[in-house]
Amino acid sequence: MMANIIEFRGPALVSAHEERQGLWSVDGTLTFQRPASAPDRVLEGWVLPGLVDAHCHIGLGAGGAVDEQATLLQAQADLEAGTLLIRDCGSPGDTRWVQQRTDLPRLIRSGRHIARSRRYLRGLGHEIEPDELVETVRKEARDGDGWVKLVGDWIDRSIGDLAPSFPARTVKEAISAAHNEGARVTAHCFGEDTIDHMLDANIDCIEHATGLLPRHLARLVEQSVPIVPTLVNIATFPDIAAQAAPKFPDYAERMLRLWDGRRERVLEAFEAGVSIYAGTDAGSVIKHGRITDEMQELHDAGLPPAAVLHAATWGARAWLGAEGISEGASADVVVCSEDPRRELATVAALKHIVIRGKVVR
Ligand SMILES: [Zn+2]
């Protein structure tokens, strides 16, 4: 049988500062060596590794797990946006079947969210008390693909404000248990104190991170803990605040304050040298397929295009242990009409999308 060959004609951006000419996909594998036979397809433009959505929820809807058809549509919407690798940040259903489908984005699962009883969106997570945390984390560490997701804080209606979900000491034991299982842990953190607790506990990543304070920045850098700001989701805070205001005015005010500082927090983190990755939080509230909106948000916060691209391609892939554009890597790439380092908006209208050597567009 003849090999299936795609020729990429244009600069292949193997990193922010290195481009190469001459890239082919031969039966789904990238190579810089010109194949003996003529290509079946020629795709012209600037080639980037497939986009990464580092905080996404596949198989999750507003009320919990959704069926296979709905899950499929979510994954396809992400694919159409150029997202070819997803770190799932918590899903109540079993989405392992997605990993068997060669026409869908690659998926790294975190298992199910772990939240405090009655302190999370209903139907999404395990809702547990502190004495169950270590065991639940251990179980999810075994079920997931190397990641565990904690809901680090949420509104505590008894005090009418945001508060950490679990005692700091218990979180520390739980994260240590996950590390013993070989898994990394990430946590939803809206508030300030939660980030201290998580850093004390040697967390591996912080989601949302709206409560970042100057005191956290050096620790994030020293401990190599990245943040995934999910700015397209933070944009919903004013709605959350408006709904909560009549009953929980302090909480509402706090959410508005966190929303107001969202871009400054991201820029401060970037300037301090904290690793930042692009995540949409698509799933329960945010629609799938919005990775390039998140990239634009990161740019609006002050990240230069190369840093935004790092957050959604080269950097995110290296962090997750996934291949980029290299000899022998899977042909999971997107092709832009213009140089995305000069014109970031070009990623919102990708010319071509190729997954495992198949041209999706
Ligand atoms: Zn999420």
- pLDDT tens for 324-349 read 999 999 999 999 999 999 999 999 99
pLDDT in tens, 197-253: 999 999 999 999 999 999 999 999 999 999 999 999 999 999 999 999 999 999 999
How close is the Cα of 284 to the center of ligand 1, in Å?
8
How close is the Cα of 214 to the center of ligand 1, in Å?
24
CATH number 1.10.10.10 is the correct assignment for the domain at 51-320: no
| pTM exceeds 0.75, yes or no | yes
CA 112/CA 122 separation, integer angstroms: 13
How close is the Cα of 91 to the center of ligand 1, in Å?
9
Residue 284: what pLDDT?
A: 86
> Residue 268 is which amino acid?
E
How close is the Cα of 225 to the center of ligand 1, in Å?
18
How close is the Cα of 56 to the center of ligand 1, in Å?
6
How close is the Cα of 340 to the center of ligand 1, in Å?
27
Second-level CATH architecture of 5-48+324-359: Roll (2.30)
Q: Where are the domains of the chain?
A: 5-48+324-359, 51-320
Displacement of CA 267 from its chain's centroid (Å):
18
How close is the Cα of 55 to the center of ligand 1, in Å?
6
How close is the Cα of 281 to the center of ligand 1, in Å?
4
CA 190/CA 170 separation, integer angstroms: 19
Do residues 14 and 302 make contact, with C-beta atoms less than 8 angstroms apart?
no
- Residues above pLDDT 70, as percent of the chain: 100
How close is the Cα of 178 to the center of ligand 1, in Å?
19
How close is the Cα of 233 to the center of ligand 1, in Å?
9
Per-residue pLDDT tens, the chain, 361 aa: give them: 678 999 999 999 999 999 999 999 999 999 999 999 999 999 999 999 999 999 999 999 988 999 999 999 999 999 999 999 999 999 999 999 999 999 999 999 999 999 999 999 988 999 999 999 999 999 999 999 999 999 999 999 999 999 999 999 999 999 999 999 999 999 999 999 999 999 999 999 999 999 999 999 999 999 999 999 999 999 999 999 999 999 999 999 999 999 999 999 999 999 999 999 999 999 989 999 999 999 999 999 999 999 999 999 999 999 999 999 999 999 999 999 999 999 999 999 999 999 999 999 9
